[in-house]
Amino acid sequence: MIIFDLKCAQGHPFEGWFEDHKDLQSQLKRGLVACPVCGSEKVERVPSTFAIAKGARSQPDQEMAAKLLGRSVKRYFLENFDNVGPQFAKEALKMHYGASQPRNIRGVSTPEEEKMLKQEGIEFFKVGPMEAEDQAQEGGGEDDD
């Protein structure tokens, strides 16, 4: 089973358990996945955001991750981590093997890449779907379009 980060047409982020990527696609196609907040069946996958902090090997990165997960430090995270997007796994490998300077990076990666990075012994952490969270701001009340 794999957890995929999903969001509905209204931007509500949620997670769903699926056998694999194929299972996700087929369930989405058949309208079997609905948003738990508003019930919308217009659901799409959000690539997970991952990050590596410079010097993570020598520092307790669990603590760092916990800090970064807090909403108040999201700005810090956005400003101090280079967004490498889908190049995340590649950049992480380069830093791991000394092909590029260690630095703070963030980006998205597939479950396959995530597995590969773990096998390589690379320390990174999952941040969650940042963009979806940005849209799902509180307040507003129940406006039904």
User: Which residues contribute to the site for Zn ion (CB under 5 A)?
Assistant: 8, 10, 12, 35, 37-38, 40
To the nearest whole angstrom, how small is the minimum distance from the Cβ of residue 80 to Zn ion?
31
Report the residue number, 8 or 127, with the smaller CB distance to Zn ion.
Answer: 8
The residues, any chain, with a CB within 8 Å of residue 136's CB and separated by 6 or more, are 11, 12, 13
Are 90 and 113 in contact by the 8 Å Cβ rule? The answer is no
Q: Which position has the token pair 């507003």? A: 140
Report the residue number, 12 or 96, with the smaller CB distance to Zn ion.
Answer: 12
Report the residue number, 27 or 83, with the smaller CB distance to Zn ion.
Answer: 27
To the nearest whole angstrom, how small is the minimum distance from the Cβ of residue 141 to Zn ion?
15
Distance CA 65, CA 119 (A): 20
The CB-nearest residue to Zn ion is: 35
**Residue 110 in tokens:** 């597939």
